């Protein structure tokens, strides 16, 4: 960490922001069906928030009891009996996002820049107000003179809430999940 010459004060610990308000919700019209086009728009919106580093807004897309999971094995059965590259219940996801804003997150000094392509979106199963969406993604991460490429399949459990969409769970299957990997800091 490069020390500033004249630190004005101790680095400010980011304050916790309200996390339950999905900001894009206002843009959605109540009563709209949870169809493919709408789900796809939602995923693109999510990818954009992540690429832009708007992690607080990204967190606001999740339900209060959501989980976020990146398994360590192909076809991993569950996140409890086997280790995971990332397995965050809602509480840990909040901590992860808060840390991303810390001025002392040395693994993000310098910050990563990412670029994601989300495609091949399909609805796997759907009910009245919830559905599971499968999508493919490619993510380029650039940091400190090197670039790496991630690819995989995401499964989002999306739920309707007050006319908006929230993520009840997100599972990300990386094609190279069992490769020896350098640290993963920016979420997929």
Applying CB under 8 A, the residues found at the interface with other proteins are 13, 16, 64-65, 67, 70, 72-73, 76, 79-96, 98-99, 102, 104-107, 109, 178-185
Residue among 27 and 105 whose Cβ is closer to other proteins: 105
What's the closest the beta carbon of residue 20 comes to other proteins, in angstroms? 10
Calpha distance 85→73 (Å, rounded): 9
Measured from the CB atom, the residue of 41 and 90 that comes closer to other proteins is: 90
First to last CA, the chain: 25
Closest contact distance (angstroms) between CB of 165 and other proteins is 19
Question: Hey, which bits of 62-163 come out as E strands?
Answer: 62-71, 84-89, 113-126, 130-143, 146-161
Token digits for 164? Answer: 């908006």
The minimum distance between CB 23 and other proteins, in angstroms, equals 19
CA distance 133 to 128: 14
How far is it, in rounded angstroms, from Cα 96 to Cα 100?
Answer: 6
**Residue whose CB is less far from other proteins, 32 or 178:** 178
Closer of 29 and 91 to other proteins (Cβ): 91
CB of 90 to other proteins, least distance (A): 4
Measured CA to CA, the distance from residue 139 to residue 7 in angstroms comes to 36
Q: Which is nearer to other proteins, 39 or 67 (CB)?
A: 67
Least distance to other proteins from the beta carbon of 50, Å?
A: 14
Angle at 42 between CA 37 and CA 47, to 5 degrees: 125
């Amino acid at each position: 960490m490069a020390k500033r010459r004249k630190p004005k004060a101790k680095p400010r610990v980011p304050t916790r922001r309200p996390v339950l308000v999905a900001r894009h919700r206002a843009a959605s019209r109540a009563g709209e069906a949870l169809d493919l086009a709408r789900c796809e728009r939602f995923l693109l919106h999510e990818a954009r928030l992540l690429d832009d580093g708007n992690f607080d807004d990204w967190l606001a897309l999740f339900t209060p009891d959501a989980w976020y999971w990146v398994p360590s094995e192909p076809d991993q059965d569950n996140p409890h009996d086997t280790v995971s590259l990332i397995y965050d219940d809602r509480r840990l996801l909040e901590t992860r996002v808060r840390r991303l804003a810390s001025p002392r997150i040395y693994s993000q000094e310098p910050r990563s820049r990412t670029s994601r392509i989300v495609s091949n979106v399909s609805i796997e199963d759907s009910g009245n107000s919830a559905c599971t969406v499968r999508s493919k993604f490619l993510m380029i991460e650039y940091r400190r003179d090197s670039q790496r490429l991630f690819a995989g399949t995401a499964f989002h459990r999306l739920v309707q809430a007050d006319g908006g969409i929230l993520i009840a769970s997100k599972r990300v299957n990386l094609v190279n999940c069992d490769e020896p990997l350098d640290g993963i800091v920016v979420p997929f």
